[in-house]
Amino acid sequence: MSSNRPLLRLVPDPGSAEPVPQVSFCGHCGQAPPTPMAPLARVCARCGLGVVISAGADVAPRKGEAFVIVDRQLKLCGLSRGAERVLGVDEPEAVHRHVSDFLEPADAEAGQGDELLQSIIAGAAIGGAEPRNIVVRPTGEYGVRYAARVGSCGPPEGALIVLGTV
């Protein structure tokens, strides 16, 4: 076995830009987990309620931003404490319901634009999607708008929708 045989190396994908760093946050309170956290502990040590997940730093919630997590079937699988307030629903009642029950595109007349929003969310839920921005509102609430960032998060893989201020 020759010692100058090249080792296997990770070759950067020439087509891709700089990778965005992943950040961890709690799916309930939205805060970064305290470090160091026990490697196998996935429940947030701050609130004891949320599971810690990761997303790209360009999508992950910043302080005070509400967010929801949606699976590939476009059903809610989690929402932050802030999103419970914004959407007027508690997490146990919200999970497994379709995202369109809670959020709709703000710039479209009723019924239009839903497909676009849902295709963006479905794309992100598969994982590895480029973050997208879309203006949304709580379903049926006119006059309230959020600049939403939609990106991939996990595990498990899902779409993260962060409700930023417009």
Find out whether the peptide bond into 6 is cis, omega within 30 degrees of 0: no
Which CB, 128 or 156, lies closer to Zn ion? 156
8 A C-beta contact, residue 117 and residue 111: no
The yes or no reply on residue 50 touching Zn ion (CB under 5 A) is: yes
Size of the site for Zn ion (CB under 5 A): 7
8 A C-beta contact, residue 10 and residue 16: no
Which CB, 26 or 160, lies closer to Zn ion? 26
The yes or no reply on residue 26 touching Zn ion (CB under 5 A) is: yes
The yes or no reply on residue 150 touching Zn ion (CB under 5 A) is: no
96 φ/ψ sector (left φ>0, alpha ψ -120 to 50, else beta): left
The yes or no reply on residue 75 touching Zn ion (CB under 5 A) is: no
Give the binding site for Zn ion (CB under 5 A): 26, 28-29, 44, 46-47, 50
